[in-house]
Chains A and B, each alone.
Chain A
Amino acid sequence: MNMKEGTFIDQTVAKGVRFLLVALLIITGIAAERIGLVEYLSDPWEREYVLFLVRQHLYLVAVSMALALVTGLAAGIIVSRKRFRKFAGIVMYVIGLGQTIPSLAVLALTMSFLGIGSKPAIVALFIYSTLPIARNTLAGILSVSPSIIDAAKGVGMSPTRILLEVEIPNALNVILTGIRIALVINIGTAALGYLIGAGGLGDLIFTGINLMRTELLLAGALPVILLALVGDYLLELLGVIIVPKGIRMAA
């Protein structure tokens, strides 16, 4: 009786949600037309410009993320080695302090030292995305149970094999979360890159705000949101594919 009632309510709620989603989609479409977004994007020149900015944005994100991945993973792994492990506490503290500094401040500070353009923006994005990756790599490896590592030692694995076949796979979930955080922050901060002359989709957002032109604003804001959501989703998917089964179950 109770269960049936529950499923009935669930179904009604699900129906309501589906209805709301369809309604939202229709309203968004009408709003896009009314605001002039559709007209704006159907102009071939403007569309070309938006696509150019998307590519520029992706370039900023891709270069800085690639550098951050290499540096963050390497830093996390090096500090987790036995010889450097005593510094782990200090390193975590410094990374935490770095993460406290707001993204706009990091960009502004980089600009005061390196000037304007896409290079300083990439440096700022790189520094800011390295922190969560290094932090989670270190935390992930440190949290691998010592008994598992002992077992690996017991079966005669070399330190390199222990790292590659035991520590990293066991820490993979945490490391991937760090990469996800870094990517989402990176995509959002890259939108601020326009302020220091790096271009990207922030161009449309800030111009739209300054000129009060909603269609420009949305043509910049919506792709940024979409990029962040898709990037986050893709990395989640990657996690499902590459994280070993036994660990996923435990998590």
Chain B
Amino acid sequence: MSLWVFLQDNLSMALFLTWEHLWMVGLSLLIAIVTGVPLGILITKNRKLAQKVIGGANVIMTIPSIALFGLMLPLLAVFGHGLGKVPAIIALVLYSELPIIRNTYIAIKNVDPALVDAGRGMGMTKWQLLREVEIPLAIPVIIAGLRTAAVMIIGIAAIAAYVGAGGLGVFIQQGIARSHEAMVLAGALGVSLLAIVVDLGMGFLERRLTPRGVKA
């Protein structure tokens, strides 16, 4: 009940924090897509390189997020960005790379060679093959990677409130500090809801963007 009262009193704040949370996650995903997808495609040509890149991204994933923030703080403090949105977005991009690179790599690798052969037989160039055969067939798996990344970094963005990045984690942080239970609940439920909604939305997108021929 007190949660309801709290939300009524702080609606504009809640909306602002949700928006802040969303754009941090969105921007990070965008950066991760622009860097990760080409990298994922590139490493399909070289198995050794692929192992190294994916292994490296795996090590980053193993590093706990709050420890990564701690590690970056003194490094970025040199440039005057130890706290705030910069370390948060760097961390969010780093964590989203693994699912994006890995899924792109696996998706392109798993495209039926017969289809690529057929394309080549029709006289397609390498670029055409990539753009018109391999990428469209790989899209569902790439989106699945994006979905994993999005859900994960929504949670990490909540922790980033502790390095001053804002977002819905602020409610959790402030609520715990002030023993304000309704505020903690608003933050925790808000972040969870956001993650679930984004997960469902991306799941829908995943199904919509699957080429009709592949669905069968």
Q: Which residues of B contact A (CB under 8 A)?
A: 59, 61-71, 73-74, 77, 83, 151, 154-156, 158-159, 162-163, 169, 172, 175-176, 181, 184-185, 187-189, 191-192, 195-196, 199
Given known contacts A105-B189, A228-B64, what 19 new A-B pairs fall within 8 Å (CB)?
A35-B74, A100-B151, A102-B154, A105-B187, A108-B176, A111-B176, A112-B184, A184-B62, A184-B64, A187-B64, A191-B64, A195-B176, A209-B70, A214-B73, A214-B74, A221-B66, A221-B71, A225-B63, A228-B63
Minimum CB–CB distance from A112 to chain B (whole Å) comes to: 6
Q: Report if A105-B67 is in contact (Cβ < 8 Å); known contacts: A206-B162, A214-B74, A218-B74.
A: no
A109 to B151, Cβ gap below 8 A?
A: no
Q: Which residues of A contact B (CB under 8 A)?
A: 35, 97, 100-106, 108-109, 111-112, 184, 187-189, 191-192, 195-196, 202, 205-206, 208-209, 214, 217-218, 220-222, 224-225, 228-229, 232
Write out the residue numbers on chain B whose beta carbons fall within 8 Å of the beta carbon of A97. Answer: 196
Q: Which among A97, A184, A188 has the highest number of chain B CB atoms within 10 Å?
A: A188
Write out the residue numbers on chain A whose beta carbons fall within 8 Å of the beta carbon of B63. Answer: 188, 225, 228-229
Write out the residue numbers on chain B whose beta carbons fall within 8 Å of the beta carbon of A225. Answer: 63-64, 67-68, 71
Q: Which among A106, A111, A196 has the highest number of chain B CB atoms within 10 Å?
A: A111
Write out the residue numbers on chain A whose beta carbons fall within 8 Å of the beta carbon of B155. Answer: 101-105
Q: Report if A188-B67 is in contact (Cβ < 8 Å); known contacts: A111-B184, A214-B73.
A: yes
A217 to B73, Cβ gap below 8 A?
A: yes
B62 to A229, Cβ gap below 8 A?
A: yes
In the bound complex, CA of A191 to CA of B210 (Å): 40
Partner of B188, one of A108, A208, A229: A108
Ranked 9 nearest A-B pairs via Cβ: A188-B64, A102-B155, A221-B70, A108-B188, A105-B188, A221-B67, A224-B67, A101-B192, A214-B74
In the bound complex, CA of A112 to CA of B182 (Å): 9
Minimum CB–CB distance from B128 to chain A (whole Å) comes to: 28
Partner of B59, one of A102, A108, A111, A229: A229
Minimum CB–CB distance from A115 to chain B (whole Å) comes to: 11
A105 to B73, Cβ gap below 8 A?
A: no
Q: Report if A218-B71 is in contact (Cβ < 8 Å); known contacts: A108-B187, A225-B63.
A: yes
Write out the residue numbers on chain A whose beta carbons fall within 8 Å of the beta carbon of B73. Answer: 209, 214, 217
Minimum CB–CB distance from B204 to chain A (whole Å) comes to: 15
A102 to B191, Cβ gap below 8 A?
A: yes
Q: Report if A192-B159 is in contact (Cβ < 8 Å); known contacts: A108-B176, A112-B185, A228-B62.
A: yes
Minimum CB–CB distance from B165 to chain A (whole Å) comes to: 12
In the bound complex, CA of A106 to CA of B158 (Å): 12
Write out the residue numbers on chain A whose beta carbons fall within 8 Å of the beta carbon of B151. Answer: 100
Q: Which among B70, B71, B162, B163 has the highest number of chain A CB atoms within 10 Å?
A: B70
Write out the residue numbers on chain A whose beta carbons fall within 8 Å of the beta carbon of B156. Answer: 102
In the complex, the chain B residue whose C-beta lies closest to that of A216 is: B70
Write out the residue numbers on chain A whose beta carbons fall within 8 Å of the beta carbon of B66. Answer: 188, 191-192, 202, 205, 221, 224
- A/B interface sample: 19 pairs, CB < 8 A: A101-B155, A102-B156, A102-B159, A104-B169, A105-B158, A109-B189, A112-B188, A189-B64, A192-B66, A195-B176, A196-B176, A202-B66, A205-B67, A209-B83, A217-B70, A218-B70, A218-B71, A220-B70, A222-B67
Minimum CB–CB distance from B146 to chain A (whole Å) comes to: 14
Write out the residue numbers on chain B whose beta carbons fall within 8 Å of the beta carbon of A192. Answer: 66, 159
In the bound complex, CA of A184 to CA of B61 (Å): 9
